[in-house]
Amino acid sequence: MRRLLPEPGETTISEQLETYRPWENEREGRPFLAMNFVATLDGRATIDGRSGPIGSDTDTAMMSGLRGRFDAVMIGAGTKRVERYANLDKRLVVVQSHEGEPADLPELLGTLRDEGVRAVLCEGGPTLHGSLQAEGLVDELFLTIAPKLSGGAGPRILEGPLPGVMEMELAWLLEEDGELFARYRRS
């Protein structure tokens, strides 16, 4: 694996994540929250309703490594229905709207913080990502860009309105076999 930014050179997933400590960056009244997505070159977050066909074994290893750095993994109910979340060794938080009413995400994150959760990795889906971004609750975004084109309609990594353009800052960029692994911070 090559690190393109910062300081180009060879690296591994373990080396790259060794000094990554999201729990040291918790926010006032809530855990630190990072999103993790994979997308095609044309922006699709799913193929046939699932993200699995997009990523590679390296993407799976990166996701596993990231999970190891967080106290909990958060997903939307729709993601839980279509993706496989068996044998997860982290606390799994499933967010579900009730009778069409969206979940109170700041309250949920506050409750998690009260229960000792310092860092949450959210793996989607796109609607939950949009809601979290709209509330200003996302601190970082990990995005794998797979060297694939899928065409057609389908969800992107973020669905739903935002209050404006959200500026992000590139913290690192890695590459292996044409697949890009980016880490963005909220500006």
The answer, as to whether pTM is greater than 0.85, is yes
Examine residue 25 and state whether it is found in any structural domain, yes or no: no
Structure confidence by residue, pLDDT tens digits, 10-38: 999 999 999 999 999 989 999 999 999 99
What CATH number does residue 108 fall under? Answer: 3.40.430.10
CA triple 22-142-52, angle to 5 deg: 125
Domain span at 122: 2-6+36-167+175-182
Examine residue 66 and state whether it is found in any structural domain, yes or no: yes
pLDDT band at 99 (very low <50, low <70, confident <90, very high): low
Q: How far apart are CA 137 and CA 146, in angstroms?
A: 26
Number of domains into which the chain is organized: 1
Examine residue 27 and state whether it is found in any structural domain, yes or no: no
